[in-house]
Structure 1
């Protein structure tokens, strides 16, 4: 179900990097960063549409997939310097990673009986 974004809300563009699936955010430098704090924040519908048109080139170039526009908290845009924060729980989890500890990979040991 598509969510309705407020027309005046601060927003950022997010996607998944095609190389490894990492969640990334469009920056003011025109690059993609895995850090929401570095995302370019836009507020007007025309600015969002223009940014999405530019980001579509990265989709066509197979750099990212799954473009989406998300709202961010305006109170976090203050002078603290830590950048925007996601509003929804889903986007907060996407920005910070899993909410549980993941198992640690262990090397497979070869039994002594095998050559």
Structure 2
């Protein structure tokens, strides 16, 4: 029997990270290359293909003590190396409430 992760086709169209919510306070966190979680997007491990994404997601799911609900999210990497959320959903998760904020589509 295969796991749901093995059955699910993962397609990514550019740089991506694994994100989740920290278990004790719900803060948005990102999986790091050091196999831990960080609230700082700049510390996130970036994957660029489906195999890397599957491996990072599987590792993240196994760590159900540190964070819950991990999934793959797109990011944009600037010429200067700065990492930014790759879509509106992730911008909102990172900055919080949209009323009176500067989040733009």
- Deviation for aligned residue 1:33: 0.7
Instruction: Show structure 2 runs of 5+ residues with no match.
Output: 1-9, 101-105
Cα distance in 1 for residues equivalent to 2:30 and 2:95 = 13
SS at match of 1:40: coil
Q: Are 1:31 and 2:30 counterparts?
A: no
SS at match of 1:73: strand
Q: 1:50 to 1:6 in 2, by over 3 A?
A: closer
- Deviation for aligned residue 1:100: 4.5
Count of aligned positions: 91
Cα distance in 1 for residues equivalent to 2:85 and 2:91 = 5
- Deviation for aligned residue 1:90: 1.3
Q: Cα RMSD between the aligned structures?
A: 1.9
Q: Deviations over 1:61-90 (max 9, x none)?
A: x2211111011114x2x3x243x1112111
SS at match of 2:17: strand
Q: Choose between structure 1 and 2: higher strand proportion.
A: 2
Correspondence for 1:90? 89
Instruction: Show structure 1 runs of 5+ residues with no match.
Output: 102-115
Larger Rg: 1
Pick one of 60, 69, 72 that aligns with 2:75: 72
Length-normalised TM-score, structure 1: 0.69
Cα distance in 2 for residues equivalent to 1:64 and 1:88 = 21
Length-normalised TM-score, structure 2: 0.75
